[in-house]
Every structure is written in C-alpha cells, then in structure tokens.
C-alpha cells in the first residue's frame, strides 16, 4: 500500500520488515540475497543491514575453486568470522584445514615469499605473502598491493629505507597474498618487509620459517594480539622457526618450533638472512 517509488528506502524498509516479522513468527531462517558494488559494499540503501540479524559476504578468486564466507555482522555470535568452502559436484563442502590451501609447497625456496599467521575471526590462518621488487621503468616507482593495505605498503617502504638502510626508491614493489585472501590487520607488516628484502636480494627467507608483527614508524617491531595461538598453529603445521615481536614470545614455547623475538626491523633482517 506504499505510494513511494519502487526501490525507495521506505519501500525497502517495509518489505524487509515484513520478511523479518514473518521469520520471527514462524521460527524459520530467511535468506535475503543481494549484490555488491565494485568496491565490495552492499548495493543500495544500507537499511537492510541494520534490520537483519546476520550479514554474510561471499569472497572468491576467479582463478580458485575456493570460496570464503565472511560474517561482517552477527547478533548471535562473533563478527568477522570466516569459513572456507570448496565447490564440488555435490555443492559447497567445508575446508577443515584452510591454512593448507593458502600455502604452496615451494614457498620457502622462492625469493620474495614468506609465510605469516593472520588472525581471521576467532582462529589463526597461515598465509603466504609474496613480494616482487623490480627496477622501475619510469620516473615514478609503483607501489601495488593485493590482499593488504596499499597505503601501508608505502609507509613500510619508507621505514625500510630510514631505519634499515635499504632503499627501494628506484624500484617497483608489488605485494600479493596468495589465494585472494584480504588481510586487514597490521600483523603482516613484518612479513611484507622481509619478503620485499628477500626479493630485492634474490635470496630465500629460509626453510620452515613463519613470521608476524606490526612495524612502527621508528623501526620498532610491535606485538600483536593472540601471539601464542598463532605460534601454536604454526607449530601444528610443521614450521620450525618463527620470527616474532619480542613481547609475543611466550613463556612456554610450543613444541617443535624455535621462537626468535626481535625488537627492531634490523634484528628481524639479521635473524632472517644471517
């Protein structure tokens, strides 16, 4: 009975309100499916997000058969939870060990590649960070990143030059997170810098090595949350060395892994390429 135009905010609120009321009265779950913009946000008025109980996003890489389902809103549990699913002949099937799909067997042998432990929702996830440093072909070197904050990449390059004496002013720097995963936290600062130096020197970071940590403007390596849980996941996946912020070194180390605590970026470089 609304007189507003189709697709207007008033009509959208009324329609969604009746669907929500129907679901509450019948005690059933209802899925409302919409599309997203090129920036990844829900298209149209955001009033729908405020009225429903849970908002889920499907994320996938066209070149991969895996799909990530991410909860950005959840009234019945933790938000930012992530599930990884594989498309099979019988439909979606859960991937019980998602760390394995984001890693390649030869990552530790390739210059410019390093493994980090990201925190997604309520669990750790091992990811491979790749960097390519190449001589710039123009007057303005490129700083491109997929899967991490691109603006932060320029900051890390500046810190590397100022506090480690490694200049990338005449080089293009490209960063990629394998598998199309997007990481919003600063725990990948240290892996990005080490992978970039590895690519610049054409020297691999080392076997069975994992690292994480935030890097400040003064060149210090800052601790990140859930350090012990990240190290436990790395040890579970068979990694034998970890370069982490000194404040993240636990009192009781997980079995089978050597933990090296560093306070500054120079310490991390020495531990990686010594």
- Domains belonging to the chain, first-starting first, are 34-98 (no CATH), 101-273 (3.30.230.10)
- Are 147 and 175 spatial neighbours (Cβ–Cβ below 8 Å)? yes
pLDDT digits (tens, 9 = 90+) for 194-249: 999 999 999 998 888 999 999 999 999 999 999 999 999 899 888 999 999 999 99
Q: Which one, of 200, 118, 197, 192, lies nearest residue 155 by Cα? A: 192
Gap between the Cα atoms of 146 and 127, Å rounded: 13
Strands 123-135, 214-215: pairing is unpaired
Strands 66-74, 54-60: pairing is antiparallel
The reported pTM is: 0.75
Gap between the Cα atoms of 139 and 152, Å rounded: 21
The CA angle 44-45-47, to the nearest 5 degrees, is 140
CA 46, distance to chain mean position in Å, is 25
Gap between the Cα atoms of 264 and 274, Å rounded: 15
Element (H, E) at 270: helix 265-273
The band of 86, judged by pLDDT with boundaries at 50, 70 and 90, is confident
Can you give the pLDDT at residue 90? 85
């Amino acid at each position: 009975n609304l007189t507003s135009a189709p697709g207007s905010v008033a009509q959208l609120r009324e329609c969604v309100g009746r669907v929500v009321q129907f679901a509450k009265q019948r005690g059933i779950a209802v899925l409302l499916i919409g599309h997203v913009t090129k920036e990844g946000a829900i298209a149209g008025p955001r009033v729908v997000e405020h009225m429903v109980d849970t908002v889920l996003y499907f994320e996938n890489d066209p070149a991969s058969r895996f799909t990530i389902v991410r909860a950005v809103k959840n009234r019945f549990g933790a938000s930012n939870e992530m599930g990884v699913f594989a498309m099979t002949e019988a439909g979606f099937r859960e991937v019980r060990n998602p760390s394995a799909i984001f890693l390649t067997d030869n990552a530790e042998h390739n210059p410019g590649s390093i493994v980090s432990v990201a925190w997604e929702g309520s669990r750790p996830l091992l990811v491979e960070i790749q960097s390519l440093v190449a001589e710039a072909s123009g007057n303005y070197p490129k700083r491109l990143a997929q899967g991490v904050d691109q603006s932060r990449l320029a900051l890390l390059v500046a810190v590397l030059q100022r506090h480690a004496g490694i200049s990338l002013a005449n080089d293009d720097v490209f960063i990629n997170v394998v598998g199309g995963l997007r990481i919003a936290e600063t725990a990948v600062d240290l892996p990005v810098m080490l992978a970039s130096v590895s690519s610049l020197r054409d020297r691999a970071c080392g076997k069975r090595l994992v690292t994480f940590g935030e890097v400040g403007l003064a060149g210090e390596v800052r601790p990140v949350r859930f350090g012990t849980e990240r190290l436990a996941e790395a040890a579970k996946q068979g990694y034998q060395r970890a370069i982490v912020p000194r404040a993240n070194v636990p009192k009781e180390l997980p079995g089978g892994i050597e933990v090296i605590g560093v306070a500054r970026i120079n310490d991390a470089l020495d531990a990686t390429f010594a």
